[in-house]
Structure 1
């Protein structure tokens, strides 16, 4: 399922996945949607491992998140709101909202830079980022702060 204004125009496998709005999937990004064991897929959600009971489950990616070229996502990876994931190895199976990085570690995506990118992306589709939408963006950043802290690397 790919929500409005999201973009996946290049090579790469995206199966049994959910992409929120304003997502961009970089060239040759792939996700796994089936374990080699054909067993049920577990997801990591804020430190809790949850057995989905599903055999097929790909990437779940929140609004305004992006993946870089050749990013690889493991089965059942969850990426939060406005995260930027990149690198040549598998990132963690949970990337918090406003996470920036990949397998080598996650840092916090600067809110002002994230808003600047969102404005630019939305303008490309002739959509204005309204003050109310910006306020929502800032609110999401604030309410996810404590949830993101355990996942951030010290760099």
Structure 2
């Protein structure tokens, strides 16, 4: 299929791109990467294998690991060896929306990772699962993670709420590193999403001590 590579992109040594594929302007595809059937937004950092996935702008997935049949929002950071499953052992992949299980009818669906979400090195995302806006996940993720949640159940830790001011500080730092303005509208949007998703988090409260994996 056709391949479009935008202005100021870098496709580094040993990488393979199979169309149809769109690589947005300013994106860097790191050495020995594989990109197939995917739409990658502007100013991303791409590594490992990306298959049949939509990735919006300013996503950092520069290391080895598989990302397939997924939908990824803006400003997402995926650590080294982050990998998602895109298949169910029981036929089509099921998802959950507002507490209701839905059969997608798809044999391959890797899930959804919302804007500003972060996944630690070595994280695993089960097929059809969702990571909410600005959430941070560590280890295996076998259930949907609400927005603004720190999730490390794989390490025996309870989920907790991430305060919106903490998210805003991190977003400003990341934008500055990319020489992008973090606008008042960006702040207002995140604060609004925090309020709109409060019900998802239920009774979760912010951690009162520093987060550590001992």
- TM-score normalised by L of structure 1: 0.90
Give the structure with higher Rg (CA). Answer: 2
Whether 1:100 and 2:153 are equivalent positions in the alignment is no
User: How far 1:44 moved relative to its partner?
Assistant: 2.2
The corresponding residue for 2:36 is none
Counterparts in 2 of 1:1-155, with a 5 A limit? Answer: 1-37=54-90, 39-87=91-139, 90-103=140-153, 104=156, 105-149=158-202, 152=204
Let me know the Cα RMSD of the aligned residues. 1.7
Q: SS state of the match for residue 123, structure 1?
A: helix
Give the number of the structure with larger relative contact order, counting CA–CA contacts within 8 Å between residues 6 or more apart. 1
The corresponding residue for 2:8 is none
- Quote the Cα distance in structure 1 between the aligned partners of 2:205 and 2:106: 31
Kindly indicate whether the alpha-carbon contact (under 8 Å) linking 1:107 and 1:153 is maintained by their aligned counterparts in 2: yes
CA 1:153–1:91 in structure 2 vs 1: closer, same or farther (change >3 Å)?
A: farther
Aligned residue pairs, count: 151
Uncovered stretches (5+) of structure 2, i.e. residues with no partner: 1-53, 208-214
Moved >4 Å (runs of 4+): none
Range with greater deviation from structure 2 (45-54 or 23-32)? 45-54
- Quote the Cα distance in structure 2 between the aligned partners of 1:92 and 1:47: 15
Kindly indicate whether the alpha-carbon contact (under 8 Å) linking 2:87 and 2:127 is maintained by their aligned counterparts in 1: yes
- Quote the Cα distance in structure 1 between the aligned partners of 2:167 and 2:106: 33
Greater fraction strand: 2
